[in-house]
Structures are given as C-alpha cells and as structure tokens.
Structure 1
C-alpha cells in the first residue's frame, strides 16, 4: 500500500509542477492546491500506514496507531485552505483590475508588440 501511495504522490507532484510552470494565474493556484494534497499524502505515507487500536490507554492492547502524522496533516490542511483562499481572492482582484490572468503580461514581459 505504501508503494501505491508513493506513486500517487509522485503523480500529484508531477501534475502540480506542470501547473505551477504555466502562464495562467488560475492554473498556478490550482497547482499550489494539488501540491499541498501531494504533501498531505506524503506525510501520511511517511508516518506509516499501520493497523492498530486508537491511541487510548487500555489494558490488552498491544499495537497503537501513531496520532502525530494525522495531527500534522490536519494542521497542514487548514493552512493549505487558508493559503488557497488568499491566492484565489488575490487572483480575483488582479483580474478585476487588469482584465487578464496571463503571468507574462502582468509582469510586463509581453513580447507581442
């Protein structure tokens, strides 16, 4: 199962890199969101996909699941949601002002004069 998750993380990182290198501002934001999902799966996979009891102290339970990777992922999800929301609002405002979402034209590097 860890090998399958590793391949999925690699596919997500590849897709995110492709989207981040595009000229459209919306694609860059979607690439950032896909990259954060890949990081969440990477954290979950690196923590180990174990089966066991919940981390509650009881007699007779030998194997416990580590709650730390789940807590890290939960925190990362909240942070990624905040960053994605902020980027979407900034992109909407830039589109309202400039009426475009092409990154090269926003920078002033337009070669088509």
Structure 2
C-alpha cells in the first residue's frame, strides 16, 4: 500500500509542477493546491499506514494508530483551503483590474 501511495504522491507532485510552470494564474493556483495535497499524502504515508485501534486506555487492542500525522494533515487542509481562497480572490481582482491572467502580460513583457 505504501508503494501505491508513493506513486500517487509522485503523480500529484508532477501534475502540480506542470501547472505551476504554466502562464495562466489560475493554473498556478491549482498547481500549488495539488502540490499541497501531495504533501498531505506524503505525511500520511511517512506516518505509516498501520491498522489498529484508537489509543484509549483500558482497551483490548495491542496495536495503536498514531494520531499526530492525522492532526497535522487536518491542520494543513484547513490552511490550504484558506490560502487557495485568498489566492483565487486576488486573481479575480487582478483579472477585473488588469483584464488578463497571463503571467507574461502581468509582468509587463511585450508579446513577441
């Protein structure tokens, strides 16, 4: 299972990198969001995909799952949602003000 998750993390990173290197501002924002999801899966995979019960006292389970990676991922998802929403609002405002979302035009480069 860890091998499948590692391949999926690599796929997310490659798709996100491809989108970040494009000229459209919306694609760059979506690429950073996809890379963030890849990082979340990487943290989950590094934490171990173990089967076990919740870490409660007095239970009959001998194996327990670690809740720290899950807490880190939940926090990262909330932060990613807020940052993505902020970037989308800023890109919408930029498009309304300047009339373009092309990165070369936003930098002031002339079309050649």
Q: Under a length normalisation based on structure 1, what TM-score does the superposition of the two structures give?
A: 0.96
Secondary structure of the corresponding residue to residue 12 of structure 1: helix
Unaligned runs of 5+ in 2: none
1:61 is matched with 61
Cα distance in 2, alignment partners of residues 23 and 4 from structure 1:
31
Coordinate RMSD, CA, aligned: 0.8
Alignment of 1:1-113 (within 5 A): 1-112=1-112
Cα distance in 2, alignment partners of residues 108 and 30 from structure 1:
23
Larger CA deviation: 58-67 vs 40-49:
58-67
Deviation, 1:86, is 0.4
Cα distance in 2, alignment partners of residues 63 and 48 from structure 1:
13
Q: Under a length normalisation based on structure 2, what TM-score does the superposition of the two structures give?
A: 0.97
The Cα offsets for residues 70-101 of structure 1, whole Å up to 9 and x where unpaired, read as 00000000010011000000000000001110
Unaligned runs of 5+ in 1: none
